[in-house]
């Protein structure tokens, strides 16, 4: 987008020492609380469907970390803890979905997982755009060097734009460009030393980069079956449905044909309440799938949602 546009002159781009290669740019977005930093990042993501890690990014909490396709968890800085405790094969992402808490990684560990995941998934591609909202939020000081190292690794091939309230000095020193947003006038921003830049123009100039490409494989189908079809929660719903319908059949086994309408209504009620817990969780499941797709931690959202629809129809 805009390869020769004057919009690109808003930002500093550096050339690599080797011929025909570039050092990609890292841009930080700073400002006071309530100034619209995250809204600015959301607009960048809206114009360029880039890889996006939100401040409190959602993943399906029941996913076993070691089973994520095309991902090596041994590169995580805290993975040795779970190896020594014998939990490496069973530790889950963790968190809450549909009101049900799943024990697993802490919030900070999940953020490190997402960082490492995009580093590994994007290693074979270049010139993508990565948007990060508060990358240091929830992360202890011990793991800040890990995030800085991953940012430096990513910026070798990809453009990065991030919002931060933490470690501002560290990131501004790393950054090629700094955008300052104002809580008073959200129509303009400050880009480096340039005052009064139109907000929309800055967003267009930042929305540069190719789209991440992921090619599905049988490993992804196997992963979906293991995490969704063979999940204890779904198996529990199926077992309860079988039990409830067995009681229903036993209760109306010798019913006369005059009771056909009553049996039909009763069967519908039993069927609805049998799968109701699963149906209630579908909204949060879909939202988690969309955010996973934004962070390239799963295959295309539409593909996984299609698998989910098939599962629902079977139920």
When pLDDT is averaged across residues 159-176 and rounded to a whole number, the result is 81
Residue 147: other Cβ atoms inside 10 A: 21
The answer to whether residue 7 scores a pLDDT higher than 60 is: no
Strand partners, 162: 28, 132
Q: What is the CA radius of gyration of the chain?
A: 24
β-pairing, 100-102 vs 129-133, is unpaired
Closest CA to 78 of 108, 56, 57, 98: 108
**Max intra-chain CA distance, the chain:** 87
What integer pLDDT is reported at residue 75 of this predicted model? 93
Residues in the chain: 315
Look-up of token digits 């199926």: 238
Q: What digits encode the pLDDT tens for the residues 63-96?
A: 999 998 888 999 999 999 999 999 999 999 998 8
pTM of the model: 0.75
Burial class (CB in 10 A: 0-12, 13-18, 19+), 264: exposed
Question: Tens digits of per-residue pLDDT, 184-219?
Answer: 888 889 988 888 888 888 888 877 666 677 666 788
Looking at residue 96, its pLDDT comes to 87
């Amino acid at each position: 987008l805009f390869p020769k546009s004057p919009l690109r002159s808003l930002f500093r781009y550096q050339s690599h020492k080797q011929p025909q290669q570039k050092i990609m740019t890292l841009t930080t977005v700073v400002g006071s609380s309530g100034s619209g930093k995250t809204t600015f990042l959301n607009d960048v993501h809206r114009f360029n469907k880039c890889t996006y890690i939100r401040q409190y990014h959602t993943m399906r909490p029941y996913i076993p970390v070691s089973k994520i396709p095309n991902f090596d968890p041994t590169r995580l800085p805290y993975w040795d803890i779970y190896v020594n405790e014998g939990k490496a094969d069973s530790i889950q992402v963790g968190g809450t979905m549909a009101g049900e808490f799943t024990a697993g990684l802490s919030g900070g560990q999940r953020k490190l997982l997402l960082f490492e995941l995009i580093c590994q998934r994007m290693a074979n591609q270049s010139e993508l755009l990565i948007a990060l909202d508060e990358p240091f939020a929830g992360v202890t000081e011990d793991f800040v060097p890990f995030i800085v190292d991953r940012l430096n690794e990513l910026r070798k091939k990809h453009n990065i734009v991030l919002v931060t309230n933490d470690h501002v000095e560290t990131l501004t020193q790393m950054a090629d460009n700094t955008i300052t947003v104002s809580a008073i006038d959200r129509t303009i921003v400050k880009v480096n030393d340039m005052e009064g830049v139109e907000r929309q123009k800055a967003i267009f100039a930042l929305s540069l980069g190719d789209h991440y490409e992921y090619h599905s494989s049988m490993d992804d189908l196997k992963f979906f079956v293991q995490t969704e079809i063979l999940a204890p929660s779904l198996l529990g719903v199926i077992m309860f449905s079988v039990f409830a319908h067995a009681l229903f059949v036993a209760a109306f086994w010798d019913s006369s044909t005059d009771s056909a309408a009553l049996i039909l209504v009763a069967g519908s009620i039993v069927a609805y309440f049998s799968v109701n817990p699963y149906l209630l969780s579908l909204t949060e499941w879909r939202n988690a799938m969309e955010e996973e797709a934004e962070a390239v931690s799963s295959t295309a959202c539409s593909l996984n949602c299609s698998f989910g629809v098939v599962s629902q129809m079977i139920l």
